[in-house]
Amino acid sequence: MAKQTQAFNAEIKQLLDLMIHSLYSHKEIFLRELVSNASDALDKIKFQSLTQDNLMTPGTELMVRLEPNKEHNTLKITDNGIGMSPEEVVEYIGTIARSGTKKFAQLNQELKERPELIGQFGVGFYSSFMVADKVTLHTQKAGTHSGTLWESKGDGTYTIDEIPRAEGHGTSITLHLKKFEADEEVQDFTDVFVLKSLVKKYSDFIAYPIRMKGETEDETLNSQKALWLKSPSEITKEEYKEFYHHLSHDWNDPIKTIHYKAEGTMEFNALLYIPTQKPWNFNMRDTEYGLNLYIKRVFIMADCKDLLPPYLRFVKGLVDSSDLSLNVSREILQQDRQVTQIRKSVVNKLLGGLKDMLTKERGMYEMFWNEFGATLKEGFPGDMPNKEKLQELVLFKSTASDGWTTLEEYIGRMKEGQKDIYFMTGDDLGKMMDSPYLEKLKEKNYEVLLMADPIDEWVTDSLREYKEKKLQSVTKEDLNLDTEEEKKKKEEETKGFLERFKPLLESMKDTLKDQVKDVNISERLTETPVCLVAGSHDPSAHMQKILSQMGQDKGLNAKRIFEINPKHPVIEKMMSLSADQQKLWTEVLYSQALLNEGSSIPDPKKFSKQLAELMLKQ
């Protein structure tokens, strides 16, 4: 392949501009990123060499090497890891697409404000341009004899050539360091003391030696301690945090750390972290998740989904097992009974840790819930064996206050005579608070749980009751708010309403025969003339709306029940109207009921015309 000059895509140019003009106080993170990438490359060759004999010479010591040169003002970072093919260099270095950065433009401002988060976006290599005005990368894929030389000055183009690497497999990155002005206070990255300090700060827990030439012999700059194998009593909070930063590329501190050793029939060590906030790509469909898997300190794979259910995908960490086979494959792993046991233990520890946080650190737990509550709730339909543990962890907004409440706290506030736990689902908490569906409940001073996450529809379908208290939707029929004594007092009144309004009810049924399945007297309305309610076994209007947005509402057209408030002046006035006027008013009231429940009107133009007609007759 002859030497070629190619242009970066637009997103890379934008990223390079961001790196080149980054704040001076964050420039040191380039070393953290490059060493972390080197460690990943070493992990890969170590794992792949378990099944492929020709990747590296037996007895090869895997390492990262730093080579500062004050005379030429360069810093070289070298590893003897898996290396890259020419195609991989173009894919990973020449373009940013694999880093999921179609969204990068939207995140540009966040990175300007917090450049230390660059590692979270999978583009750490480009941090080199914070400190270098030219970067040379020489790499060779393990098992091949063809090397690739890549070079760029960060000016929008790069060159690429095919040149074998004298050292064989691995990657060398040479940074031609910028000459900074004296008032910029940038550290000297050719200084031995500076490099030692940065390695200790960011990369002390890398599993491979990070070497640099000393005065007489090579020095190893990092401890290489497998933190997870130490006793928790021997580890400081700062050490836990440093390891989390290395592991996750999230430079916020974790909200909780769980470190334990399982003993008995199944032995393994687990170090688990709950982040403070979700990463930028958390909800993207192709985002990887899972724990890092080690076997006897040998890295096997990252993002092992078999160790973590999807609803706990926010958790970062690792598991190191002594019992799994070193040559385990992904296919075998999925069927391994021991992996299932590890997963069960990890889930129990995580849910127990969250319960402990909820009990002892309520403020911290609510911070966690604001970030990951909707994700955790996915466990209700997905992990029935742990439903009881999850229902102790779930938080809801309610009509009682602006804060969060647990189900246990709700039960403790239930009024005398209240039989059920009442809830309402919707898109907007403010609109739910003002909903006509709550009128009678407010009158009786009954608290209602307000659920604004789409997953809540599936949560309530799985969580039918809590401590023998039924969960009852306020938007469904048979709300049954009255006590037996109250029912007896109202029987005659209801019977009278049914007799008196029978002609109007029949007229409404006829008018709405294609839209609703019945028209009834309402017991839940006190101020609003009408509302629509779902049948007890039908999906709510909100659920139908969600399914429609997901394109999964085919064949689903559950008609609702139209309830009227017999004490409302509008209903009273309708009794004296002509048949045609009753039909007009019924259609207008039906449209209003749709708006009140958060649904769209089938024919807005017709509705506007009908309103104008009514206004002219007043």
Q: Higher-confidence residue: 204 or 256?
A: 256
Q: Quote the Cα angle for 189-193-196, to 5°.
A: 85
- Look up tokens 């102790």; give the residue: 392
Residue, of 416 and 124, whose pLDDT is higher: 416
Among 158, 188, 220, identify where a domain stops. Answer: 220
pLDDT of residue 408: 96
Q: Which CATH number does the domain housing residue 359 bear?
A: 3.30.230.80
- Which has more confidence, 493 or 386? 386
Tally of CA atoms within 13 A in the half-sphere of 343 that contains its CB: 21
Instruction: Rank 80-94, 367-381, 600-614 by mean pLDDT and report only the highest.
Output: 367-381
Higher pLDDT, 276 or 201: 276
Tokens standing for 408?
């246990």
Same domain, 400 and 271: no
Q: Is the pLDDT of residue 24 over 50?
A: no
Question: Is 380 inside any structural domain?
Answer: no
- Looking at per-residue pLDDT, the higher value among 183 and 46 belongs to 46
Percent of the chain with pLDDT over 70: 88
The verdict on 406 and 278 lying in the same domain is no
Asked if 208 and 102 sit in the same domain, the reply is: yes
| 496 and 460 assigned to the same domain | no
Q: What is the pLDDT of residues 408-455, one digit of tens each?
A: 999 999 998 888 999 999 988 999 999 999 999 999 999 999 999 989
pLDDT at 97 over 50: no
For residues 558 and 432, state if they share a domain.
Answer: no
Q: Which residue has the tokens 């739910």?
A: 432
Residues 38 and 154 in one domain: yes
Average pLDDT over residues 263-282: 89
Distance from C-alpha of 279 to C-alpha of 281, rounded to nearest angstrom? 6
Residue tagged 């724990």 (tokens): 291
pLDDT at 181 over 80: no
- Average pLDDT over the chain, rounded to an integer: 86
Residue 263: per-residue pLDDT: 86
Query: In sequence order, what are the residues at sequence separation of 6 or more whose Cβ sits closer than 8 angstroms to the Cβ of residue 77?
Result: 31, 34, 35, 38, 64, 65, 66, 67, 172, 173, 175
The region, left, alpha or beta by phi > 0 then psi within -120 to 50, assigned to residue 50 is: alpha
> Is 286 inside any structural domain?
yes
Q: 383 lies in a domain?
A: no
- 114: pLDDT strictly greater than 60: no
In sequence order, the 6+-apart residues with CB closer than 8 A to the CB of 531 are: 436, 437, 522, 524, 525, 562, 563, 593, 596, 597
pLDDT at 102 over 50: no
**For position 211, what pLDDT does the model report?**
96
Domain with 576, as residue range(s), is: 484-616
Tell me the mean pLDDT in the region 30-58.
87
Q: Are residues 234 and 310 in the same domain?
A: yes
Q: Total structural domains in the chain?
A: 4
* pLDDT tens per residue across span 446-500: 999 999 998 998 899 899 999 999 999 999 888 878 877 788 888 888 888 889 9
Handedness of CA 242, 247, 249, 255 (dihedral sign): negative
* 115 pLDDT above the threshold of 60: no
- pLDDT band per the 50, 70, 90 thresholds, residue 206: confident
Higher pLDDT, 276 or 280: 276
Q: Look at residue 116 in the predicted model and tell me its pLDDT.
A: 47
Confidence of residue 98 (pLDDT cuts 50, 70, 90): very low
pLDDT bucket at 328, cuts 50 / 70 / 90: low
Does residue 447 share a domain with residue 506? no
Q: Is residue 117 part of a domain?
A: yes
Q: pTM for this one? A: 0.69
CATH code assigned at 432: 3.40.50.11260
Domain assignment of residue 508, yes or no: yes
User: 463 and 495 share a domain?
Assistant: no
Residue 183 pLDDT exceeds 60:
no
Q: Are residues 359 and 467 in the same domain?
A: no
pLDDT tens-digit profile of 571-607?
999 999 999 999 999 999 999 999 988 888 888 999 9
Q: What is the mean pLDDT of residues 174-189?
A: 80
More confident residue, 205 or 212: 212
With tokens 């709306």, the residue in question is 545
For the chain, what's the residue count?
A: 618
Model pLDDT, residue 157: 86
Cβ atoms of 253 and 243 closer than 8 Å:
no
Q: Has residue 243 got a pLDDT over 60?
A: yes
- Of 473, 497, 528, the one marking the end of a domain is 473
Boundary-marking domain end, from 205, 220, 235: 220
Q: In this predicted model, what pLDDT tens digit does every residue of 498-542 receive, in sequence order?
A: 899 999 999 999 999 999 999 999 988 999 999 999 887 777 777
Res. 104: pLDDT tops 80: no
- Are 98 and 144 contained in the same domain? yes
Q: Is residue 372 part of a domain?
A: no
**Quick one: angle between helices 579-596 and 502-511, nearest 10?**
70
| 350 and 238 within one domain | yes
Domain with residue 200: its CATH number is 3.30.565.10
Residue 402 contacts by C-beta under 8 Å, 6 or more apart in sequence?
A: none
Task: Pull the structure tokens for residue 123.
Answer: 């583009």
Query: Is 26 a member of any domain?
Result: yes
Residue 553, pLDDT score: 61
Residue 593 lies in a domain: yes
Mean pLDDT of 88-97: 69
